Amino acid sequence: DVGPDAGRLGGEIIFQGDPSSIEELTETPGAAISYTARYLSGRLTIPVPGTRRRWRDSIVIKGAREHNLKDVDVTFPLGVMTVVTGVSGSGKSTLVRDVLYRALNRKLGNPGDAPSYHRELSGDIARLSAVEFVDQNPIGKSTRSNPATYLKAFDEIRKLFASTQGAKQMGFTASDFSFNSDGGRCEACKGEGMITIEMQFMADITVPCEECHGKRYQKEILEIEYRGKNIYDILEMTINQAIEFFGETDGTQEKRIIKRLKPLQDVGLGYIKIGQNSSSLSGGENQRVKLASFFADESKQPTMYIFDEPTTGLHFNDIATLMKSFDRLISMGHTVLIIEHNMDVIKCADHVIDMGPEGGDAGGSLVIAGTPEEVASCPASYTGKYLKEKLSAGSDI
């Protein structure tokens, strides 16, 4: 078990040995914290919600017949969390991505792929202003983008540096503190801090830039300090550290920075460095940066957010954080629609749409739709069988 936490707070071996003895860790006073042990022993759990949210409005798809879909009619509720379940190959992605998402996206006036075969899209479409398909693909295309630039937190940090006495004396503006445009950045590496050398018969290699020694900026820029830190020192801080550092004063510009960084902390990414390159993020991390950007946009009109297997690569403890993020999107007036196998997610749904019963040709039908309790009492549903155990195990919380 590697941990205890992520990023800077991880990297230690917490436990190695027989799985049956890991649970003892939670009982040993002073032992390192192991989330794995705590979830295994049941001391930490993802609770079953006490109540299911009620819904009235919905989007309806009728006569979907792409791939293995057997002319199905499905109702997708609005304003709640719906989980689409079913064995691999049962038709979940075809129904949700190829039919529902594409049809809705076109209907809302956006370009994009033509929807797969269905007879009708109807329901309370006017209640939605947008639909977003959230995948695990990398954020931003530039090799210089990072979570802080994606959430526009770095713009606010650059403004703060431009407002310092030192910057004013030298005539530096906010754009001189950018590593994305000419001005203050190191021109040898174009602000990347690294040089990529193309090798003819081998993989490219990267080496630190000799000009700036990996610090990404020209010497004059690095001499400008805000409370003892230069712009490179800030890029080296984790999100958590930066929130702490900028929170030590109560300036308005510092508050703006914190407001932009906070959503990243809320989705559990506080351990990432401000300057960490987007291309180094894992799929799950990319997905959560996107989630964070949805929170940052408070004026966003009601949106349907669709996730295809968002828990891929996540630990129980990450899943708990993810579930809180979904709840928050719903409390902001949005709709969350998830394709998922993970029972801890399914048991928290307000509504479950179970596809199947099998994969391939023997699938493509709607087995049952309803609350997790209703699905659990459906004998024809594989999901129901596992859900039954899960609900009886965790319902006392």
Ligand X SMILES: Nc1ncnc2c1ncn2[C@@H]1O[C@H](COP(=O)(O)OP(=O)(O)O)[C@@H](O)[C@H]1O
Question: Rule CB under 6 A: which residues touch ligand X?
Answer: 67-68, 86, 88-94, 359-360
Nearer to Zn ion, 37 or 189 (CB): 189
Nearer to Mg ion, 221 or 306 (CB): 306
Give me 228's structure tokens: 């003892």
- Cβ 117 vs Cβ 66: under 8 Å: yes
CB of 287 to ligand X, least distance (A): 17
Which stretch, 34-42, 83-91, 100-108, 183-191, contacts Zn ion (CB under 5 A)? 183-191
Nearer to ligand X, 67 or 185 (CB): 67
CB of 309 to Mg ion, least distance (A): 7
When CB distances are held under 5 to 8 angstroms depending on the partner's kind, the choice from Mg ion, Zn ion, ligand X, none that residue 89 binds is: ligand X
Per the listing, tokens 């991390």 go with 285
CB of 187 to Zn ion, least distance (A): 8
Query: Is it true that the peptide bond before 4 is cis, omega within 30 degrees of 0?
Result: yes
Q: Of the candidates 9, 188, 380, 397, which one interacts with Zn ion according to CB under 5 A?
A: 188
Nearer to Zn ion, 89 or 183 (CB): 183
Which stretch, 61-69, 206-214, 315-323, 352-360, contacts Zn ion (CB under 5 A)? 206-214
Nearer to Mg ion, 58 or 93 (CB): 93
Q: Examine residue 207 and tell whether it contacts Zn ion (CB under 5 A).
A: no
Nearer to Mg ion, 87 or 292 (CB): 87
CB of 232 to Zn ion, least distance (A): 11
For residue 156, the number of C-alpha atoms closer than 13 Å in the C-beta half-sphere is 20
The residues that touch Mg ion, with contacts defined as CB under 5 A, are 93
Q: Examine residue 186 and tell whether it contacts Zn ion (CB under 5 A).
A: yes
CB of 304 to Mg ion, least distance (A): 18
Q: Examine residue 209 and tell whether it contacts Zn ion (CB under 5 A).
A: yes
CB of 65 to Mg ion, least distance (A): 18
Q: Can you give the binding site for Zn ion, defined by CB under 5 A? A: 186, 188-189, 209, 211-212
